[in-house]
Amino acid sequence: METKVLPVNEESLKLAAELLQNGEVVAIPTETVYGLAANAKDGTAVEKIFHVKGRPQDNPLIVHISTTEEIYTVAKDVPKSAMKLAQAFWPGPLSMVLPKSDELASSVSAGLSTVGVRLPAHAAARNVIAMAGVPLAAPSANTSGAPSPTSAKHVYQDLQGLIPLILDGGSCPLGVESTVLSVEDEPVVLRPGFVTPQEISDVLGCKVHLAPSLQSALKQGETPKSPGMKYKHYSPKAEITILKTDDVKNFSDYVALQLEKVASPVNVMCFTGEEDVFSVPCVTYGKKDDAASQARGLFSALRKLDKLGAKTVFARAPKDDGIGLAVRNRLLRAAAFREIVI
Ligand code: TXA
Ligand code: MG
């Protein structure tokens, strides 16, 4: 199959909507990462998403809508707290896990009784949903296990020949996937993102929990609340270790001592402006103390490391609060939770 990459304009939006109505999958830009979209009411179309990504069948998808009211067509028994959050954070990078409407294909939520729902802020994404006239199931548009795509080029690298169309909306402004929040009973963040636990807590006036799977690798036999969290993710081919220290000199001394002991080539993932401290090639992923810039650069940096053929990577550690929590969660998973405090 030929994969077209078209800039977002009226014509390409129309083509995307037509393909989606005809049961095809199309890659679309969102403010977080590119999504691989299909009609969420069409079981055969949803199956294509799983097939194209090589996604495990038990990992549910997020359904995207273009107006808040549509929440009632994809979810039922929507609690008041969800509407409060929708008012505060939609359109934007928050996905809420709610009881699923029977109108959706059951494969969307991998047989679960709940569904993740999101109203994206990206105008192209909202236009495609509105023009297709159906809710769109859309996981990140990468091959399962690869870093999420933050540009049309990343999508093309992974899915070239497998899908008919990639809508090119440039680089994603945020760069990490949405916050996934369970709003049943007490709110639980299943995946951290740009909408932070503190912001959610401020709107709801209650405590917001963090899913245990965010902090450490799952123990054998343990089931996470969000199935996606059990899969190794965002992994370049290299073995990544996060080195936790505030002092970049301390970091570079540690790396120098490791060079003889680890598989080469060795690369460092550091913050912008720190490159000169190191004797090995560096890939930067944003500015120190600026978690939003780290989020924007992270997935692209992981893909670059693969291109460089890195075997061992030592990474600077993001902060573990606010948006840093989201960056840290993705990096920890890329590093299979290898982190050393030095
Ligand atoms: O920012 C985003 O959310 C992007 C863009 C395209 O919107 N989408 C995205 O989808 O990241 P995906 O499929 O790559 O990640 C969805 C995550 C997975 O970890 C999945 O397990 C979780 O959300 N999830 C989806 N539905 C769920 C449900 N009903 N219950 C618990 N977790 C759910
Ligand atoms: Mg994903």
Position 134 scores a pLDDT of 98
Q: Is the CB of 107 under 6 A from ligand 1?
A: no
Q: Is the CB of 32 under 6 A from ligand 1?
A: yes
The preferred substitution site among 98, 136, 177 for testing ligand 1, maximizing ligand atoms within 8 Å of CB, is 177
Position 234 scores a pLDDT of 62
Q: Classify burial at 46, counting beta carbons within 10 Å of its beta carbon; exposed 0-12, middle 13-18, buried 19 or more.
A: buried
The preferred substitution site among 62, 109, 333 for testing ligand 1, maximizing ligand atoms within 8 Å of CB, is 62
Q: Is the CB of 29 under 6 A from ligand 1?
A: no
- Closest CA relative to residue 291, chosen from 266, 323, 253, 313: 323
In whole angstroms, what separates CA 312 from the centre of its chain? 24
Strand order across the beta sheet in which 209-210 lies? 4-7, 165-168, 26-28, 35-39, 136-137, 62-64, 114-118, 94-99, 179-182, 188-191, 209-210
Position 317 scores a pLDDT of 96
Ligand nearest to the CA of 36: 1
CA–CA gap between residue 164 and residue 104 (Å, rounded): 24
CA–CA gap between residue 205 and residue 220 (Å, rounded): 35
339 pairs with which residues across the strands?
242
Q: Is the CB of 60 under 6 A from ligand 1?
A: yes
The preferred substitution site among 140, 189, 213 for testing ligand 1, maximizing ligand atoms within 8 Å of CB, is 140
266 pairs with which residues across the strands?
312
Q: Is the CB of 139 under 6 A from ligand 1?
A: yes
136 Cα to the center of ligand 2, angstroms: 15
Dig out the tokens for 140 from the structure: 């990140």
Position 298 scores a pLDDT of 97
Q: Is the CB of 178 under 6 A from ligand 1?
A: yes
Q: Is the CB of 49 under 6 A from ligand 1?
A: no
User: Residues 197-234: pLDDT tens digits?
Assistant: 999 999 999 999 999 888 766 565 666 666 666 555 66
CB 120 within 8 A of CB 126: yes
Q: Is the CB of 179 under 6 A from ligand 1?
A: no
240 Cα to the center of ligand 1, angstroms: 24
CB 222 within 8 A of CB 322: no
Q: Computed over its alpha carbons, how large is the radius of gyration of the chain?
A: 20
Q: Which residues of the chain have pLDDT under 50?
A: none
Verify cis geometry, omega within 30 degrees of 0, for the bond prior to 147. no
Dig out the tokens for 47 from the structure: 């199956």
Return the sign of the alpha-carbon dihedral for residues 177, 121, 50, 102: positive
Ligand nearest to the CA of 228: 1
